[in-house]
Amino acid sequence: MYRSIVLALPVLALAAVPLHADEISDTLQSAIEAYESGDVQYALEELDYARSKLLELKTDALSGFLPEAPEGWTREIDTESNAAMAMMGGGVSAQADYTSPEGEHYGLQMFADNPMVASMSAMINNAGAMGLKTDRIGRQKFALQDNQTMGLIANRILIQLEGPDADARKMLLESMDFEAMANFGN
């Protein structure tokens, strides 16, 4: 009897300490309260809002994998690139435009956890059999077609890089941390 009380004391002490609240957890709690009071519509609205905030966090995390601009280059991150993802089946995206010192433009897009990624995986994995040129960057396989380089990281993150020079595209991709990207969102 005394043993079970002594073992329960640390659990009770932790329960007495309030957890740090943030906008997302507050919204989720509000959804629970609305559900418990019978206001299903408001509960759904709160869940949708919490989901949008979680997707923002995930988008910001994915954007962190966009490479810095090489010396002499410029980079502009597209903060609106994720807006259309709902129409494309969900997931998150990140995009940046790079300009070389010579004025050449390169566009890098990443899509994660989206049905489009699954449909592109067969093409990328079988690029050589389809007559496309392939290249390895680190341990990742990329397909090259015209002015585009495409790769699939961890079977869930599609990278598309467009630009006129294959060597410059490779240089940009070589600066990315694909190993860390494979664990994105976990």
* Segment 98-121, tens digit of pLDDT: 999 999 999 999 998 887 787 777
Query: Could you give the maximum distance between any two Cα atoms of the chain, in Å?
Result: 78
Structure tokens at 122: 């067969």
Q: Over 80: is that where the pLDDT of 15 sits? A: no
pTM of the complete model: 0.74
CA distances from 186 to 39, 47, 58, 106 (A): 33, 21, 10, 29
Instruction: Say yes or no: domain 68-182 is CATH 3.40.50.
Output: no
Go through 32-69 and write b for each residue having 16 or more CB atoms within 10 A of its CB, e for each that does not: eebeeeeeeeebeebbebbeeeebeebbeebbebbbeb
Band the pLDDT of 126: cuts 50, 70, 90.
Answer: confident
Name the segment(s) of the chain with CATH classification 3.40.1000: 68-182
Other beta carbons within 10 angstroms of residue 112's beta carbon come to 24
